[in-house]
Amino acid sequence: MRQYPWYEINGLTLELEPYAAYASARVHFEHCYQPELNYVITLKSLLDSVGGDEERYGWMSGDPIMRDIAHMLWCDPKALTKRARINEAYMDGFKDFSMITQARIHVITACLSLGSYTDTTVTKKDVKGRARKFWARAWLRHEKIFSPSTGQLNAALKRLPDANDKTFHWEVVLRDLGLSDLAQSREQDQGPGQEPLIA
């Protein structure tokens, strides 16, 4: 029986997993900011809101990513430097990586987001669909768009390899991550349990 996080633990996944795990943690962290309708999040607005609204953002001290940073500050400064490099790559949308490496990172992130699913409901279609959404948001981050509209997301998705694009290396990506044996798709739209956070 396949276990969460679904992908195989091998040299490649161990190398890329820190980027995907950080991306997954950032999705959770950023989800807590849920902006008001038509409110555009910028780096300045985030800084202003955190500095000026202690009550609303009091949760941050308990967020896992913030606790990790606090622990690293105290006990492991080298890990904090490594995390800063990962954050820099994340904020740049992983654009310095090859397309296939970007796909691998986002597929691993997609797997991490499917925690409430079971091995019989995780499919290639789910994984590639979620990976493409994470990927689109990454490219928009590179363009300094941190709170994209639906139109911006759809436009970014059109620039990415389609999930069924035979000219892109989807099967290689899935094989390298140990996901080749996943079912292509399933009949029901959602696995059991609560819908996980999506990019």
Provide the 3-class DSSP secondary structure of residue 75: helix
**Domain-embedded: residue 198:** no
**Domain-embedded: residue 56:** yes
Higher-pLDDT residue of 179 and 32 is: 179
Overall average pLDDT of the 14-40 stretch: 79
How far is Cα 187 from Cα 8, in angstroms, rounded to an integer? 25
> Tens of pLDDT along 40-81?
667 776 676 666 555 555 555 667 777 788 877 778 889 889
pLDDT for 35 equals: 55
Which range (7-21, 25-39, 133-147, 184-198) has the least confidence?
184-198
pLDDT for 123 equals: 87
How much of the chain is in helix, strand and coil states, percent to nearest 5?
55, 0, 40
Domain span at 49: 11-176
> Tens of pLDDT along 106-161?
999 999 988 766 666 788 998 999 999 999 999 999 999 988 899 999 999 999 99
Cβ atoms of 110 and 25 within 8 Å: the answer is no
**Domain-embedded: residue 196:** no
User: Going by C-beta distance under 8 Å and a sequence separation of 6 or more, which residues neighbour residue 191?
Assistant: 114, 116, 117, 118, 121, 122
pLDDT for 119 equals: 60
Q: pTM value? A: 0.77
**Domain-embedded: residue 188:** no
Residue labelled with tokens 């161990």: 14
pLDDT for 195 equals: 46
**Domain-embedded: residue 132:** yes
How far is Cα 33 from Cα 56, in angstroms, rounded to an integer? 10
- The number of folded domains in the chain is 1
**Domain-embedded: residue 20:** yes
pLDDT class of 15 with cuts at 50, 70, 90: very high
Q: Give residue 106's Cα distance to chain centre.
A: 6
pLDDT for 191 equals: 47
Residue labelled with tokens 């981050």: 141
Annotate 110-140 with b (16+ C-beta within 10 A) or e (fewer).
Answer: bbbbbeebeeebbbbebbbebbbbbbbbbbb
Cβ atoms of 177 and 7 within 8 Å: the answer is yes
How far is Cα 166 from Cα 172, in angstroms, rounded to an integer? 11
**Domain-embedded: residue 193:** no
Higher-pLDDT residue of 177 and 119 is: 177
> Tens of pLDDT along 82-115?
989 999 999 999 999 999 999 999 999 999 988 7
